[in-house]
Structure 1
Amino acid sequence: MIKNTFLFLAIAILLTAQKPNEQGLKDIFEDSFYIGVALNSRQVAPEATQEYALISSHFNSLSPENGLKWALVHPQLETYNFQFGDEYVALGEKLGAFTIGHCLVWHQQVPNWVFESETGEKLDKEALINRMEAHIETVMGRYKGKIKGWDVVNEAFNEDGSFRQSRWFEIAGKDFIKAAFKKAHEVDPEAELYYNDYNVWRASKRKGILDFAKEMKAEGIQIDAIGMQGHYTVNGPSIEEIEKGILEISEAGFQVAITELDVDVLPRPRNSEGADLTINYANSPEFNPYKEGITPEGKVQLAKRYEEIFKLFEKHKDKISRVTFWGLYDGRSWLNNFPVRGRTNYPLPFDRDMKLKEDVYNGIKKAVEH
């Protein structure tokens, strides 16, 4: 039985290892930007041998998919769970990767108790900010010097550039964002600090984000980069819209991080752009056309889309610090359940068997071929 186990592990490593003379994605873009991947708890576990072979071959930056979000790392007032975080950071150290923390403050996946007193009454502004700062100090402080960059605040703006009316904003206004960045810098002055959001390619949303980021910077509050979540489809947004976002962020004095890259190959209901988790639909054949496998035409479309996206990123490599895929392989992508539940999606460079899609790989590689 032990022999069989070792044989299986050896085969798994061979299946995910690079072919002879095949460059890992991180090596292709070695002189351009970090190539990152978001990982879940299974993938950071020490026994995740097959995943480790894939990660070590292709990525030099890591992001946590869910394990450091408030509800998981700090589920109760006096309770913290650092199992994921410790294993995640250990993996990053083993790989010598540029390790990211995601995310300290968000309106999703945060327990109700965060906003309430022990008697269930709504906290006032001072009490809420104190509670937020204690969370940042504990979580960020534990990994000081090990996690190199943090998504301090996530998704705090609406599509029109106004502030999202979250519970954070209802109690503390925009000052909760400023306080979060101030505290993060205080806890680890060497860490890079980011604001992260989806649909930053949209001019109205981007203007609100950049106006506020410049306001913070003018007040001496550290903010190093704007995270442009790359939740794209095969049809949009246009390369021109994405490029405009990259240029405007850079012109405003911030680095660009492509933080959550994937390409949805399936049709979507209307009003489901970006990553608003409140938008969700029941499964239906109309929105799940590749249940038995993606068509040859779909494969070509996906590869072409990745090729044009990475050509754009390579064109602006002087402005982009990192490109991070949101998920390791198709079978574990969140897009199997968003915006339509229970779908079979194919949004990443690695298929459901953790094998590299050669057509997507070749398309991406063309970005650096002259």
Structure 2
Amino acid sequence: MSSRRTAPALFAGAATLLLLGSASATAAPAHADHHATLRALAAPHDLKVGTAVDVSALSDDTAYRAVAGSEFNSVTAENVMKWEVVEPTRGTYDWSQADELVDFARRHHQSVRGHTLLWHNQLPAWLTSGVADGSIDAPELRRILRDHITAEVKHFKGRIYQWDVVNEIFEEDGSYRDSLWLRTLGPSYVADAFRWAHAADPKAKLFLNDYNVEGINAKSTAYYDLAKKLRAQGVPVQGLGIQGYLDIQYGFPADVEQNLERFAALGMQTAFTEVDVRMNLPAGDTERARQADDYRRLLDACLAVRSCTSFTVWGFTDKYSWVPGTFPGQGAANILDENFVAKPAYTALADELKTTRRTGHRP
């Protein structure tokens, strides 16, 4: 998972889950029409509705596998496409877990979002230690980055519809994050990463991706300014990924739709890439209702702007949520609970998809 919203941002009736038979049985949200999954409801909108997938849970948990395959028409690897997993030893690639997810998606007629080619976290030890001890200098690091991006994008060529190329490169004030990439290569690494990814798969849409950029603020404006500059130079920056990590103790981000619109005006796509809405525990009906409304409002903004092409929740069940391990005392951030019972948040997304019309044209 990415580093998520570590500082405060400025910013009902539940459907039930039908569990058939034993604990190893399949599971699917129960509706009057049992075919009205989120993916079915999203289809008229020309919208990908997705989830991040824990590949270990996909292998071990039948209920998890059933919901992941039935509810969504897009999947994102939670961890298994990150650098430390796919290239644990320099020049030796292990695609096995990522290939497992891509094969699952093919069997279930799902698209795949690639996450992520370049980040400051979850890097292999051989890379970070080499930069730290000086055995990897700037020219060598640039070659390593080019080779990694080229190898990964080529491996999945034609099977990834959107790539998060560069992840979390700005601080909250809009300044560049102090990472080994910036310190060693300077800001030119961003343009290089996009050019290399595009050369490896010209058909994949290439995204910047970050948290705390839902509304118009210093950080999202830094991305807007960067995208405008790079696109003017011919760099294939084609989308902004808005992670969408919210916390109900803070206000809902302002100007979400207007933020999407300004990127659309640049000719770019947008996507909500990692949505969850956490809360302090224990949570009651009031908290769950507020959570549902936050999910709904993010989806509503996406549906209001035709260039918003996908809406991905960062996991769908609290059973496997990253939140409690990162934010002690918080959790319950997903649309299904630990027992795969749908929460008001699930109903809110389903109802929004049922009742909203999209108009306009996609860039």
Superposition CA RMSD, Å: 2.2
Displacement of 1:239: 4.9
Do structure 1's residue 310 and structure 2's residue 295 form an aligned pair? no
Aligned residues of 2:248 and 2:287 also touching (Cα < 8 A): no
Question: Which residue of the other structure, out of 298, 306, 324, is the alignment partner of 2:312?
Answer: 324
Provide Cα deviations, 1:285-340, integer angstroms capped at 9, x if missing partner: xxxx31xxx32222222223323333333222x121000000131121111122x2
- Structure 2, unmatched stretches of 5+, are 1-19, 357-363
The normalised TM-score by structure 1 is 0.83
Provide Cα deviations, 1:51-94, integer angstroms capped at 9, x if missing partner: 22202221000001111111111112133222211101101111
Aligned residues of 2:257 and 2:304 also touching (Cα < 8 A): no
Do structure 1's residue 346 and structure 2's residue 332 form an aligned pair? yes
In 2 relative to 1, CA 304–211 (structure 1 residues): closer, same or farther, beyond 3 Å? closer
Displacement of 1:112: 4.1
Displacement of 1:40: 1.3
2:232 maps to 218
1-side partners of 2:293 and 2:172: how far apart?
28
2-side partners of 1:345 and 1:353: how far apart?
14
1:323 alignment partner, SS class? strand
2:189 alignment partner, SS class? helix
Displacement of 1:17: 5.1
1:171 maps to 184
1:281 maps to none
Do structure 1's residue 90 and structure 2's residue 92 form an aligned pair? no
Provide Cα deviations, 1:251-291, integer angstroms capped at 9, x if missing partner: 2321111001001122xxxxxxxxxxxxxxxxxxxxxx31x
Do structure 1's residue 208 and structure 2's residue 222 form an aligned pair? yes
Do structure 1's residue 16 and structure 2's residue 18 form an aligned pair? no
Aligned residues of 1:17 and 1:53 also touching (Cα < 8 A): no
Aligned residues of 1:18 and 1:24 also touching (Cα < 8 A): no
The letter for the 2-side match of 1:113 is W
1:240 maps to 254
2-side partners of 1:304 and 1:214: how far apart?
32
Provide Cα deviations, 1:104-124, integer angstroms capped at 9, x if missing partner: 100011134325659942533
Aligned residues of 1:73 and 1:81 also touching (Cα < 8 A): yes
1:163 alignment partner, SS class? coil
Do structure 1's residue 297 and structure 2's residue 286 form an aligned pair? yes
Do structure 1's residue 129 and structure 2's residue 118 form an aligned pair? no
In 2 relative to 1, CA 361–119 (structure 1 residues): closer, same or farther, beyond 3 Å? closer
Aligned residues of 1:44 and 1:84 also touching (Cα < 8 A): no
In 2 relative to 1, CA 361–116 (structure 1 residues): closer, same or farther, beyond 3 Å? closer
1:229 maps to 243
2:300 alignment partner, SS class? helix
Provide Cα deviations, 1:186-219, integer angstroms capped at 9, x if missing partner: 1111111111011112521112112111222122
In 2 relative to 1, CA 141–170 (structure 1 residues): closer, same or farther, beyond 3 Å? same
Displacement of 1:352: 0.3
Provide Cα deviations, 1:130-185, integer angstroms capped at 9, x if missing partner: 10111112222111111222111100111111111100000101111111111101
2-side partners of 1:108 and 1:188: how far apart?
24
2:351 maps to 366
Query: Identity percentage over the alignment?
Result: 28
Aligned residues of 1:152 and 1:195 also touching (Cα < 8 A): yes
The normalised TM-score by structure 2 is 0.85
1-side partners of 2:251 and 2:208: how far apart?
21
2:341 maps to 355
2-side partners of 1:193 and 1:79: how far apart?
25
In 2 relative to 1, CA 118–366 (structure 1 residues): closer, same or farther, beyond 3 Å? closer
Name the structure, 1 or 2, with higher relative contact order (CA <8 Å, separation 6+).
Answer: 2
Aligned residues of 1:239 and 1:308 also touching (Cα < 8 A): no
1:328 alignment partner, SS class? coil
The letter for the 1-side match of 2:301 is L
Aligned residues of 1:311 and 1:366 also touching (Cα < 8 A): no
The count of corresponding residues between Structure 1 and Structure 2 is 333
1:335 maps to 323
2:43 alignment partner, SS class? coil
- Structure 1, unmatched stretches of 5+, are 1-5, 267-288
